[in-house]
Amino acid sequence: MFRRFTPHHVVAATAVALVLAATVTPAVALASPASTSNRSAEAGAATTTPIKHLVVIYQENVSFDHYFGTYPNATNATGETTFTAAPGTPSVNGLNASLLAPNNPNLVQPFRLSPSQAVTCDQDHTYTDEQKAFNSGLMDKFVQTVGRGTAACKDYGTGTGLTMGYYDGNTVTAMWNYAQNFAMSDNSYGTTFGPSTPGALNLISGQTHGFAQTSPAVTTNGTIIGDPQPTGDACNTRDATTSTDSKNVNIGDLLNAKNVSWGWFQGGFANCAAKHTNVGGVSSADYIPHHEPFQFYASTANLKHTPPASVAEIGHNGPANHQYDLTNFWSAVDAKQMPAVSFLKAAAYQDGHAGYSSPLDEQKFLVDTINRLQKSPDWKSTAVVIAYDDSDGWYDHQMSPIVNQSNNPAVDALTGNSCGTNSNQVLGGYSDRCGYGPRLPLLVVSPYSKTNFVDHSVTDQSSILRFVEDNWQTGRIGNASFDTKAGSLNNMFSFTKAEANTLLLDPTTGKPTKH
């Protein structure tokens, strides 16, 4: 049995000192609940579970409370898409009465955003300011430190208090329906504090250190804390960096060594000029360079955005070097050649990032993708992980466990001007990787998902990395990767028997459909 964290309002500020000083025991290696004789579609690639195809849908900028704070209870206001939870739905560590008005310790009380308020301003989600918002574990400085909003970008009259806004099942209806029918976590975190680039790098390597220095606000001591773009990417528009540590590798390198097919598939990768407009009329470029983590490594980069020579190349070595446009993924699926490991990145207008995307745009992408995968012949051995790169600065009440400290007064601010002072708790001696960061949504959609299940065990972005490593037996990343500390995703699965039924949803409403 797993124990939930006590809500922050019960814990004194001094409690964070105990968390900072604690030694975190590395997670136990993944067990093999299914026979290790299971074979992936790739010759010679044994898997330790029945999952032969993993699809990671990596979305943008959402905290757990922002999407699931009141789960499974929706308001069901007149004229909105309704949501009613199934009997026996488990509760989550969310926004209960002790955290809602008038009891929340922040300057603005948490408030519901309706479907008509799906388009909002982007919040501050920088490495330092997110730590300040946590305020030594009191979780009460969000409005002053990360709140950002103006009438021009739709803060609905709340100003910096917009950071306290959340949606419920009347807006993020598909997400709540996936949680009802599959498995979700209420205790998963960003591996470190900070924005998109660190989150993307932690997904594929569990490390953000060993990169060429740019401006201090972006890279400190060779560690990325901001949003630089990959050096040499044909679509770059500003400051850039690349991995310079010869010991740095990513999961693509490990999969290549095992001859396991894989790829990163991103909307707009084939055309830097491609644009779309979201439901609020905001137009943005489809491809965002710093959202593509494999481009930061010479071994896995495709800086000229060279397309694959054929459908047969997709997932394998070739001119594209495993980096593709999102359309290439569907070409492979339609040809019954889905790679063993696929990372999907939506075009910007559908990636969920406030400011240029929205929950309604994101819902359409998620539902269209998962509906289509469920109709594919490979679905019976597929798992979809829905995860996020960072919180965007949206309020979440849960203090994260600090499993890695950092004492750089220039950028660390969790407790005063540090994130712990115990040098023995700085993984590999690399600073500026304070974490775990904010709590994020995490769902597993698969025939092998537990159903209507909430996992309370501690996981982070690098737990997805660890699942790939363990399922395809690649070994660890090394060089102080967070994968050595990552909790397992296994508790969200039932590997001995496929339990979950197919669930097709309407991409507009997020409600179940029979078609």
Strands 341-345 and 53-59: parallel
pLDDT digits (tens, 9 = 90+) for 257-289: 999 999 999 999 999 999 999 999 999 999 999
Closest CA to 454 of 186, 162, 120: 186
d(Cα 129, Cα 466) in Å, to the nearest integer? 29
Determine the 3-state secondary structure of 358 from DSSP: coil
Residue-wise pLDDT tens digits, 108-123: 999 999 999 999 999 9
Q: What are phi and psi of 386, to 5 degrees?
A: -100, 120
Alpha-carbon dihedral of residues 327, 328, 330, 331, nearest 10 degrees? 120
Nearest of 141, 123, 125, 101 to residue 13 by alpha carbon: 141
For residue 385, the surrounding DSSP H or E stretch is strand 382-388
- Per-residue HEC secondary structure of 444-510 comes to EECCCECCCEEECCCEEHHHHHHHHHHHCCCCCCCCCCHHHCCCCCHHHECCCCCCCCCCCECCCCC
Q: Is the pLDDT of residue 322 over 80?
A: yes
Q: Assess contact for 213 and 225: CB atoms under 8 A.
A: no
Rg value, the chain, Cα: 21
Tokens of 197: 């680039």
DSSP state of 338: -
* 12 vs 434 pLDDT, higher one: 434
- C-alpha 149: how far from chain center: 23
CA distances from 211 to 86, 163, 197 (A): 48, 31, 12
Euclidean distance between the first and the last CA atom of the chain, given in angstroms as a whole number: 38
Instruction: Note if the bond before 7 is cis, omega within 30 degrees.
Output: no
Picking from 66, 329, 71, the residue whose alpha carbon sits closest to that of residue 178 is: 71
- How many other C-beta atoms lie within 10 A of the C-beta of residue 321? 23
| The pair of three-digit structure tokens given for residue 465, joined into one six-digit string | 């990395």
Q: pLDDT category, 11, cuts 50, 70, 90?
A: very low
Query: Looking at 136-140, 148-152, 166-170, 478-482, which range is the least confident one?
Result: 148-152
Over residues 29-54, the mean pLDDT reads 60
The yes-or-no verdict on residue 34 having pLDDT over 70 is no
Kindly report the pTM of this predicted structure: 0.93
At 504, the amino acid letter reads: L
- φ, ψ of residue 312 to 5 degrees: the values are -60, -25
| Pairwise pLDDT comparison (107 vs 214), residue with the higher score | 107
pLDDT at 515: 58
- The CATH code that applies to domain 8-82+105-473 is 3.40.720.10
Phi, psi for residue 466 in degrees, rounded to 5: -65, -35
pLDDT of amino acid 126: 98
Local confidence band at 80 (pLDDT 50, 70, 90 cut-offs): very high
Q: Is residue 28's pLDDT more than 80?
A: no
Cα(336)–Cα(379) distance, rounded to whole angstroms?
11
On average, the pLDDT of the chain sits at 92
Name the band, by pLDDT with cuts 50, 70 and 90, for residue 216.
Answer: confident
Per-residue pLDDT, averaged over 219-230, amounts to 95
Dihedral sign computed on CA atoms, order 101, 414, 191, 352: positive
